[in-house]
Amino acid sequence: MHLLRATSLRKTYGGITALKDGNLECKRGKVCGLLGANGSGKSTFSKMISGVVTPDDGDIWFDGAHVRISSPQEAKKHGIIMVHQHLSLIPELTCWENMTLGFEPVSGMGFLNNAQSRELARTYLSKFAPGLSVDRKVKDLSLAQKQFVEIAKAVAQKPKLLILDEPTAPLEQSEVEKLFAVIRELKAEGTSVIFISHRLWEIKTICDHVVVFRNGETVGAIDFATEEKDEDAIVSMISGKDLQLVKHKAQTGGAARKERQLEVEALALRQSRTPVRFELGKGEVVGLGGLQGQGQEQLLLALSGLHPSGSARITLGGKRLKLRHPRDAVRAGMVLVPGDRHKEGLFLQHDMLLNLIYPQLAVRKTGFFLSRRRLKAEAEQIIGRLNIVPADTGKVVQFLSGGNQQKVVVGKWLPLAPKVLLLSDPAKGVDVGAKKELYDTVKQLAEQGTSVLLYASDYEELMAICDRVLILFEGQIVDQLMPSDYSEERFVAASLRSETAADRSPIEAWGEAK
């Protein structure tokens, strides 16, 4: 019998459809995997079930009754609790205070019963982290411990349906096992779980059936009780393409061997203990792919000198670089076109002239006194070269279109003749025409010997201009795709790190990269 049945859920935000047609059936005492790429609608869907988002249309049946869930409190009353990806704990309170917040046990006189609260918290938290004291403040905990407190809090409320949104993201293997043990225990008690994850092996391990979302619609469901745990089938459903065709595509080619420009070794990214290592050839355009938030942006920020690069060994043009500050990177010729141009790339309230000449000021490439005429001529040259519209150095940058603003962010580096250009999703919010011009410029720079490291959230952009693409997953480079591999299915498969992608091991990819 179904505990939850949701049909035809729909949600639009001011003309943008977040969810077109969400359907899901969740059995009592089973774990339902919810799958889909970023932006496929699975988050919106689960928020609807937990009352955070109210659907525009559609029906939800829960525990045999047709229900309308208009708030998280109401969802809680029904017995539906969601653990969100972004944790909602209060850092200054202790574990037990956080865990019982909102449903504190009350003694006879109406006072809070702290002893009982603490005991309750201890009981549930010990399932996940036996050694962890419930009296510790949440702010002192590791990310994984916080995640456990959050999940334990949800479990302590004895939900009928527990929704876990990417609960394993901050967890290590052994911790994931502990979580799974608790989930199995819950199952045995008759609790249903909706489990959201990008890791296919986790899905295969813990889920009894899966539902796949793509572009705001439910595109398929597989019941592992009756059907095979076929990873290829799942990946095809997520990407919408038939994987079999792709897998048999010949793997040939590879970028022409080029002179080495940048070598990065032992660079540790946030989530990962295994540091990344790669090389960039002179004039080579290398893409950073994978799901969003797998460390691509951190990698670029570390190379730009803004984030500490720890004990990484970075060699540029044969010289060792010590990156203590963006100045070190800029001086060496490694420059960043950041992801958020308004916050990180521009002086919005100032004219193009100041914006375009600023890096030269910053690294003291000009004299103390400035020749406005010379700098203006230089700025005009950049404007001409990148075809920035309007061609007026006095134009205040905030009144430019997004595409032209982005050209300013790229253009300001040109006078420094950068050796390495780091691009962080440069075409975000840029119209198609400007995007093409932007990438044409990037290609042109590459032809002149500038190496390019490009992160783009859109696979097509990567395929269009990269000589090869490194796929990141949880702070590690897990795969490398060459132009002959380029296809959306291959990207999806590699990004999800399914066996399909793994049959070409990362180690081999390294060998080829060298």
Partner 1 sequence: MSMTNAQTRDMNGPGAALRGIRQIGSRKVLVAYLLVILIFIAGQVVSPGFAAFSNIMNVLNISALLGLIALAQMLVVLSGGEGIDLSVGAMASLGAVLASQMLNGADGNLLPAIAVVLLAGFAIGAVSGAGIAYFKVPPLVMTLAMASVIQGVALVYTNGQPKGMASPLLKELGVGRTAGIPNLVLLWIAVAIVVAVFLTRTRPGQALYGLGTNRLTTELSGVRTKVFTTAVYGASGAISAIGGMMLLSYTGTAFLDIGSSYMLPTIIAVVIGGISLAGGLGSYNGTVAGAILLTSLSSILVTLRMGEGGRQIVYGVILLLLLAVYGRQKVK
Catalog residues that contact partner 1 under the rule CB under 8 A.
16, 37-39, 215, 304, 306, 325-327, 329-331, 336, 338, 343-351, 354, 357-359, 361-364, 366-370, 372, 390, 394, 396, 398-403, 405, 412, 427-432, 435, 457-458
- Give yes or no for a cis peptide into 390 (omega within 30° of 0): yes
Cα 513–chain centre separation: 25
For β-strands 209-214 and 217-223, DSSP reports them as antiparallel
Name, in order, each residue with C-beta under 8 angstroms of 13's C-beta and a sequence gap of 6 or more: none
* Residue 124 tokens, joined: 């549930």
* Helix 432-447 vs helix 372-386: crossing angle, to nearest 10: 110
* Residue 443 tokens, joined: 């290609």
Q: With contact defined as beta carbons under 8 Å apart, do 330 and 362 qualify?
A: yes
CB of 220 to partner 1, least distance (A): 19
Name, in order, each residue with C-beta under 8 angstroms of 359's C-beta and a sequence gap of 6 or more: 330, 335, 365, 412, 413, 415, 416
Looking at beta carbons only, is 134 or 301 nearer to partner 1? 301
CB of 1 to partner 1, least distance (A): 36
Cα 17–chain centre separation: 21
- Residue reference for tokens 């490439």: 365
Distance CA 120, CA 135 (A): 13
Q: Which residue type does 233 have?
A: A
CB of 88 to partner 1, least distance (A): 26
Strand, coil or helix: 314:
strand
DSSP annotation of 275 reads P
Question: Of 376, 432, 434, which is closest to residue 410 (Cα–Cα)?
Answer: 434
Q: With contact defined as beta carbons under 8 Å apart, do 160 and 80 qualify?
A: yes
Distance CA 357, CA 377 (A): 11
Residues found in the chain: 514
Distance CA 60, CA 311 (A): 53
Looking at beta carbons only, is 192 or 296 nearer to partner 1? 296
- Residue reference for tokens 């942006």: 297
Cα dihedral value 429, 432, 435, 436, nearest 10: 170
